[in-house]
Amino acid sequence: MSEQEPVKRVTQRGLWFDEFEDGVLYEHRPGVTVTEADNMLFTKLTMNTQALHLDAHWSAQQPGFGGQRLVNSMYTLSTLVGLSVAQLTQGTLVANLGFSEIAFPAPVFAGDTLYAETLCTGKRESKSRPGEGIVNLRHVARNQDGAVVAVAERSTLVRRAPSGEEA
């Protein structure tokens, strides 16, 4: 097989501001299966001493969660946003501007698989930063059974496509 120059090169990146479409739902795949080690490491790294995440014996005696340790909700939130990066913001995000209306309507346990989707809920050009725009996103995480386990509204600052770059 002879090596030829490619006709076109494509580098994986997120969407430029101009490529986001209000009202479009972006599904992020593959999902990720949460392990006990993920939960323990994240919980310890963030100094969260909540026994519901750390102490299997104590958690087994508590009502409400079937005797299981809960996955740290901040891990769930971080994973929810992380699942969207490759498709939406890799190399195009300038900054997260803020999160709002964060909710965890159902628990996550080790062994659950998380899937994410993001709805673009609005966008506008930045008044103070030419070449950038504000994109509002509604992230939703579902487990393997389709139950919603996390929701987060996020405001982001995203670059516009550089001149000459395909949008």
Helix (H, G, I), strand (E, B) or coil at 53: helix
Q: Hunting for tokens 């299997």 — which residue is that?
A: 56
Structure tokens at 82: 């992380």
Stated pTM of the model:
0.89
User: What is the spatial distance between Cα 161 and Cα 127, in angstroms, rounded to a whole number?
Assistant: 17
Residue 135 structure tokens: 């994109």
Structure tokens at 115: 């899937």
In the chain (167 residues long), the average pLDDT of successive 10-residue segments reads 77 92 96 97 95 92 89 98 96 96 97 98 96 97 98 98 70
Note the pLDDT of residue 9: 79
Q: Are 42 and 53 in contact (CB under 8 A)?
A: no
Could you tell me if 140 and 150 are in contact, meaning their C-beta atoms sit under 8 angstroms apart? Answer: yes
The pLDDT score that the predictor gives to residue 2 is 61
pLDDT given for residue 75 in this prediction: 98
